[in-house]
Amino acid sequence: MVLKNPQRMRIHIYPVSVWIFLLLCTASCIPVKNPKESPLAVWIEKYQSIKDSIDQTYEEGWGDPSKASYTNLEKSFAEIRSGLDGIDGNKLNEEEQIDRQLLMLELDNELNDLRFQSWLMPLNAEGGFLTGIVYWAQRADVSREKEQKKYLNKLKSLPGYLQSMTRIMQLGMECRKISPKIITQRCVDLLKNYLDTPPENSFLLSAFQDDSHPVKTEAIGIIKNEVWPALNQFRDFLQSEYLPASTEEPGISHLDGGKSFYEAKVRYYTTLDMSPDEVFNTGESEVKRIRSEMEDIIRKTGFRADFADFLAFLRKDPQFYAKTPRELLYRATWLSKKIEGKLPEYFNKLPRMPFVVEPVPEAIAPNYTGGRYSEGSYKTGKPGAYWVNTYKLESRPLYVLPALTLHEAVPGHHLQIMLSRELENVPKFREQLYISAFGEGWGLYSEYLGIEAGMYETIYEDFGRLTYEMWRACRLVVDAGLHYKGWSRQQAVDYMAANTALSLHEVNTEIDRYIGWPGQAVSYKIGELKIKELRKKAEAALGDRFDIRSFHDLLLSKGSVSLSILEQMVNQYINTAKTQT
């Protein structure tokens, strides 16, 4: 999974989070600067103007959301979407056709969220907008006077932001658009974790390296006298008002319009015309196949018991777990360097940006996944970061670490994302675009590529690879089960626990993540299946002329794209290669 820049987070703060729309009430009135521009360029410019306003709003403060601003945003996006429909795609060149298809895909998703009023439910299992505050604090720049003033202003405006979010959630309670109880409870617990820390040790002070910084004392005063009371007040609201009103059902389909909302989410996250039932059935088929491979490995280990007993053995035996956070981080770092040395065998082009290995920030680690990629920035010079969760070491098995490293670092998210940031002559919206079926599909394909690269050194690490693949296959089943077929949370937990070697802590945090982020979990396996299908197709068509490095370069050559566009690219690649002598 990818953690992008805070104003474009995919955890899912954006577009659910509500600070982003403050400047958009007049978005439909943005003027066209050059009347000679093509119709497509005009609509892309208008869309980008809205996005730039969103970013500027975040840079200057937290915003003041209102129902009116969302209504205006919906009108603006609907106008752009209609304009794109009116363009004859046959008159566009190849790059313009890709621009149009991708913008339509994004707008359809934006409009689905707005029409369903997702913004009324700004929480998720990792905290939602609350975690967004943590990410802002982690990346705050306090090096110069201008940035220091900006930091202090945002700190001072946090209480007002929390009050605005309270009003939004109260409106959601009135409209019966409200989070499930498990999500609300996780956020209550997260706030308790924040508030149990003294203000002078707050996560909001993460940007300061030492106590001698000229504005740190002022910041502590603001946190102690203004922010901490506001956070306490918000926690009281969640505990006493929001939690009792929260829904028992974990899925989205029980809400008004929830089933059609989820159907649209499945189309967006797969980028294919797939139904939730097709996703569910694909998942069951993959689970059966992977289970057979896992049982073959169990037999090879000589373990004399059933599948459930083997999983219990993996979850409890201390040989599979690091004894210290440093040991886990060092192992992840070594694996990262090992695969880096193999990259030239599989790629001609590599990104200029390096990456580091870091622990998941302590403030968010309890509800966080085992690892994640935090995007680097060529603009600021910030390297990419492969985050490894060192919280609760007994739930972080070493045998899955090779697969995690391949997915989150290289050749997974770091390589794919930072290469996309080096693209030239593409619209700005594509520079920051992250299509989950492509990005997460590539991450899971990277785990598969580790077999060829010799990254799985032991039979247990190979089982760890399979348990990660099984995890993604189970997601197809449990996500559709939760949000479309009326499954209970316990059904989903039991299904995941019975079929993967994930720790029970990870099983529970993952299921809660799916509950708070409908549809996203199905993108991984669907994307991986398509990429493997396209590679097999190219290998069969080209035979000895197939070159793995040029094929991988092709897949990453246009940044984040839909799976249908990726298939068009591969078909063209095959046809071109066949004509060359």
- Banded pLDDT at 471 (limits 50, 70, 90): very high
pLDDT of 157 higher than 80: yes
pLDDT of 30 higher than 70: no
Separation between Cα atoms, residue 419 and residue 413, nearest integer Å: 10
pLDDT of residue 4: 52
Separation between Cα atoms, residue 506 and residue 164, nearest integer Å: 33
pLDDT of 374 higher than 90: yes
**Higher-pLDDT residue of 175, 28:** 175
Nearest in space to 137 (alpha carbons), one of 195, 202, 93, 199 = 202
pLDDT of residue 501: 87
pLDDT of 178 higher than 60: yes
Cβ(205)–Cβ(216) below 8 Å: yes
Compute the average pLDDT of residues 60-82: 88
**495-513 residue pLDDT tens:** 999 999 888 998 999 999 9
Compute the average pLDDT of residues 449-460: 97
**88-140 residue pLDDT tens:** 999 999 999 999 999 999 999 999 999 999 999 999 999 999 999 998 998 89
Cβ(524)–Cβ(472) below 8 Å: yes
pLDDT of 33 higher than 50: no
CA dihedral 344, 349, 354, 355 (to 10 degrees): -70
- Banded pLDDT at 60 (limits 50, 70, 90): confident
Q: Determine what percent of the chain is predicted with pLDDT higher than 90.
A: 84
Angle at which helix 181-195 crosses helix 129-139, to 10 degrees, equals 40
**265-277 residue pLDDT tens:** 999 999 999 999 9
Separation between Cα atoms, residue 191 and residue 275, nearest integer Å: 37
CA dihedral 475, 477, 480, 483 (to 10 degrees): -80
pLDDT of 576 higher than 70: yes
Residue-averaged pLDDT of the chain: 92
Cβ(98)–Cβ(561) below 8 Å: yes
What spatial distance separates the first Cα and last Cα of the chain, rounded to whole Å?
41
pLDDT of 491 higher than 50: yes
pLDDT of residue 32: 44
Sort residue 250 into left (φ over 0), alpha (ψ -120 to 50) or beta. Answer: alpha
- Banded pLDDT at 174 (limits 50, 70, 90): very high
**Higher-pLDDT residue of 13, 413:** 413
List the chain domain ranges: 17-119, 129-245, 263-524
Nearest in space to 53 (alpha carbons), one of 85, 82, 28, 88 = 28
pLDDT of residue 64: 65
Q: What is the DSSP string of 526-543?
A: HHHHHHHHHHHHHHHHHG
Q: What is the pTM of this model?
A: 0.90
Strand order in the sheet with 2-3: 2-3, 371-374, 384-388, 355-359
Separation between Cα atoms, residue 378 and residue 369, nearest integer Å: 26
pLDDT of residue 369: 87
Residue 195 token pair: 């508030």
Cis omega before residue 15 (within 30°)?
Answer: yes
Compute the average pLDDT of residues 36-40: 82
